[in-house]
Copies of this chain bind each other. A is one copy, B any other.
Amino acid sequence: MTGPVPDDERLARVALNALREPADPRLARLVATMGARELRERLLDDVDLAGLRSDSAERLAGLDPKRMLDDARARGIRFVVPGDGEWPAGLDDLARVQPLHGLAGPPIGLWLRGPARLDAVTANAVAIVGSRSATTYGTAVARDLAAEVGAAGVTTVSGAAFGIDQAAHRGALGVRAPTVAVLACGVDRAYPSAHRELLEHIAQIGLVVSEVPPGWMPTKVRFLSRNRLIAAMSTGTVVVEAAVRSGALNTATWAELLQRVLMGVPGAVTSAPSQGVHQLLRSGAASLVTCGGHVLESVSPVGFHVQNELREPPRATDSLDLTGRRVLDAVPLVRPAPLASIARTGGVSVATAERTLRDLEQRGLVAGAGGRWRLSPRPASA
């Protein structure tokens, strides 16, 4: 599609989007086949398409898309649709995946609140999701991960829920990195209400996104369809903590279906909120990450952000060969020993022992005097 999206196309999508629960596979298929305007007209003409008209009669009755759009605009809320510049290409991947729990398809449109451009802010984005009933450990890890990827310019996408989600958003906000909250209710609602200020903050500098129209309540089905958007808008999804039956695992499944990078943060095996993550890791669905560097490495183009595994600083004994280490092992710590005794203990000839001790002395590891040897006092800094 070139040029701006026509008004009647946008209005048709506002109406169709409000007609059904999100991710109705029939609706997505009909929109893809005949276009939103044609579909809306035929439904208004009382044509029953795949059972859509009769099922939706109750809701269709009271629908005024023009007023919905105007009301939303007056409150700083916009409705973006395919063809708009800020429509993220990643959402269209949803057209190519099989339904999950009966849900499928790209959104017909998205309601947005906030200054960020959706395409720009999700161009390099990671979903950080997890349990509402998270532990102190989990929320600290989520916050740190979001801050670490945020410092590298990567957006954190999450669901603004209690626990892991809110910690991820706050971690991003803490380093002034963009963050996107995708809701199961209208973008004008605060759910949970305890997160009203958090959502306002996100709406001021990032984006609050929802597929359902302003004013709508969150429902269980809407959480499930919302999860597919979190996965689709992100290059990768990190599950921080998730009990065996957790909504975060639903997001993880969407990430898998969408062939996004799926990552999991391990935790104590005795911690229930880590059990779901450990299952993902054991099944091979997710790769194990322990820090922002690992996440960046996984979601970045090959060669970027390569994270060196943690290593302790090298020690003076690292470069010793086996003979060197054996002789060193044979040198007493306190009372100096004669060469022959060190050779015997180390299992080497006297000549080898002497040559090796000279080398160890040059490395500062042993000290010799009067034909007897002991270990060098350890430097204070070692």
Contacts and interface: CB of A to CB of B under 8 A. Distances in A.
B288 A281 contact: yes
B268 A59 contact: no
Interface stretch (A37-45, A66-74, A152-160, A320-328): A320-328
Contacts of A309: 244, 279, 282
A316 interface: no
Contact of A329 (B137, B220, B279): B220
A374 to B, nearest CB: 16
Given A219-B329, A221-B322, A141 B270 contact: yes
Interface in A332-354: 340, 343-344, 346-352
Given A20-B347, A267-B268, A321 B244 contact: no
A269 B135 CA distance: 13
A220 B324 CA distance: 12
A245 interface: yes
A312 B219 contact: no
A103 interface: yes
A266 interface: yes
A288 B294 contact: no
Given A288-B278, A321-B102, A326-B21, A58 B343 contact: yes
A330 B329 CA distance: 75
A289 B343 CA distance: 45
A221 B325 contact: yes
A266 B241 CA distance: 13
Contact of A244 (B265, B310, B343, B344): B310
Contacts of A95: none
A275 interface: yes
Contact of A220 (B245, B312, B325): B325
A219 B281 contact: no
Contacts of A279: 309-310
Nearest to A22: B347
Given A58-B350, A344-B58, A348-B55, A322 B245 contact: no
A288 B288 contact: yes
A151 interface: no
Contacts of A347: 19-21, 55-56, 59
B352 A55 contact: yes
Nearest to A309: B279
Nearest to A137: B268
A101 interface: yes
Interface string A6-48: 0000000000000111000000000000000000000000000
Contacts of A312: 243-245
Interface string A289-325: 1110010000000000000011110000000011001
Interface in A207-265: 219-221, 243-245, 265
B221 A326 contact: yes
A140 interface: yes
Interface of A: 19-21, 54-59, 101-103, 137, 140-141, 219-221, 243-245, 265-270, 274-275, 278-279, 281-282, 287-291, 294, 309-312, 321-322, 325-326, 329-330, 340, 343-344, 346-352
5 contacts: A57-B349, A279-B309, A281-B288, A282-B289, A282-B294
Given A21-B326, A267-B267, A267-B268, 7 more contacts: A55-B347, A55-B348, A56-B349, A219-B326, A275-B310, A278-B290, A282-B288
